[in-house]
Amino acid sequence: MADDSLIELLIAGDHTRTGAGPHLSPEFLGELVAFTTRYARLEKMLSGGTHVAYSPSALGLNLSLSGDILGQAEDLARLERARFKLPSGPILDVDRLIEAQGVKVIPCRFPAGTETCGGFFFDAELGPCIFHDAALTIAQRDYVIAHEYGHFLADFEPYIHTICGHPNPALVEDMREVRAHQFALAFLMPRVDVEAYRKAIGLELGNSIPREFVQQLQVYFAVDNEIVLWRLLSLGWTDAAGIASLLSKDGGLLPEIDLEQIDREARLVYSKPIPERFIHLVASAFGRDMLDLEDAAEFLGTDLHEAQSVLEQFHFKEPAEKEPPPKATEQSSGADPSVN
């Protein structure tokens, strides 16, 4: 698909356009598509193309928009967690999990003050792509990626091109947004796990939700308070009045626990919001002599010095020392070599 057509589809699918802005401009989206094109070039260079793991969970469900949207989202989230063999509790490094499926996850510097959080698009040449605001907190990032992954799983006949903001009750008329929102909540906070936690502390359904319970769920599932409240609403355990009471009673919600304290795998050090997987691909191509330092700098969008600094975070095998060529058999002077 031509870049201009892709940009037009994204703008047409921008759910934040009804707001005051700033919005993602055509120029911004053009740079995003250009980066995604470089990303796909690297994949083709190293492995022959983009390889995507399409989910049998999604293909096996009835995902009609006229059906039970919330039930579809819950079932899809449950099946995906089972497919990934995820244990109870949080999903650490959601972005890496989704990238492993062949979905490009691209952090970007969004314009300051924008309501936009992320988006999704699919292109036959580029594959499935999720992009998000690099300034999001870890919890917000994980929700946005899970939300957009829900679009990838469910909205494929045809694939949609969408730009999304924060969860918004005003979008309840768009069943695809409702389903992606419910999927993200259920993926990050599975119903069975939340139920087990509620029963373990002896909280009866119908009772008011104590703020301590909100904090416990926030820590256990490595999300933020907003996601916990949305999940409690989606489960039907509280309503708008109950949320208002939680936010106003006894000084409101307890402080969130900083998710940076959670033990996660180390991340590469780089000055720009670029996908780690992309950097690994650049390093792999460099290590195989498919790119020189100038090429690597161009792919990374930086200068030679920083490109060298990034690549030094990887270990490349030193080329094996070449053995000297075997010496020719000496012949006595005056002896003519035999000629066949």
Give me the torsion for CA of 239, 242, 248, 251, rounded to 10°: -120
Mean pLDDT (the chain, rounded): 89
pLDDT band at 183 (very low <50, low <70, confident <90, very high): very high
Per-residue pLDDT at 339 exceeds 50: no
d(CA 307, CA 316): 15
Q: Answer whether residue 190 shows pLDDT above 50.
A: yes
Residue with tokens 């492993």: 100
Helix residue ranges, H only, 48-155: 56-59, 69-83, 94-99, 138-154
Calpha distance 25→17 (Å, rounded): 11
pTM of the model: 0.89
For 120, residues 6+ apart whose C-beta sits below 8 A from its C-beta are 128, 129, 130, 131, 148, 151, 152, 160, 161, 162, 164
CA distance 286 to 154: 37
For residue 162, the surrounding DSSP H or E stretch is strand 162-165
Least confident stretch, 3-12, 19-28, 114-123, 312-321: 312-321
Residue 67 has what pLDDT? Answer: 96
Residue 55: pLDDT over 90: yes
Beta bridge partners of 128: 122
